[in-house]
Amino acid sequence: MNVRVVYQSATGNTKKVAQAIARAAGCEAEPVSTATVSEPVEMLFLGASIHAGDVDPSVKKFIEGLDPILVKHVTVFGTGFEGSKDKAIGITKDLLARRGIAVNGKYYFCLGRFVLFNRHHPDFQDLAGAEEFVRSVLTG
């Protein structure tokens, strides 16, 4: 199965999760700023978090540039505050659905450090959870 992992991360939290996901999926984690999809992808894991109340413009631009014929399914992941989960996941899922891209109902979200909050997250358990999540997605 052709799997890709693409993420946006301002302070490294989502990058750590992306790297755990990529490890479990057997591929590299690619920053959204340089990733392009020009070959068919069966599962694209896309990581985005909330900054200033929204997902980063680079994520929106990446989704806008996706070809729904090449991208079969997307699974969304993110990090942040428990209270920002619905926004981080929901906005990204919604943008993908508007492009006519099939979005997995399952997603992965864990706490992400912000200044003094959620210290040490994502932690070892968060990353192990991400790897386990990938295995459950890829084995159906």
Ligand X SMILES: Cc1cc2nc3c(=O)[nH]c(=O)nc-3n(C[C@H](O)[C@H](O)[C@H](O)COP(=O)(O)O)c2cc1C
| Interface with ligand X (CB under 6 A) | 9-15, 49-53, 79-81, 84, 112, 114
CA–CA dist 72, 122 (Å, integer): 29
Q: How far is the CB of 137 from ligand X (least distance, A)?
A: 20
- For residues 123 and 140, which CB has a smaller minimum distance to ligand X in the complex? 123
CA–CA dist 110, 88 (Å, integer): 11
Q: How far is the CB of 69 from ligand X (least distance, A)?
A: 30
- E strands present in 1-140: 3-7, 29-31, 41-47, 50-51, 54-55, 71-80, 102-103, 108-111
- For residues 14 and 75, which CB has a smaller minimum distance to ligand X in the complex? 14
- For residues 110 and 137, which CB has a smaller minimum distance to ligand X in the complex? 110
CA–CA dist 122, 113 (Å, integer): 7
For ligand X, which residue has the nearest CB?
112
Q: How far is the CB of 40 from ligand X (least distance, A)?
A: 28
Q: Using the structure block, give the residue that is written with the tokens 């209270």.
A: 83
- For residues 66 and 84, which CB has a smaller minimum distance to ligand X in the complex? 84
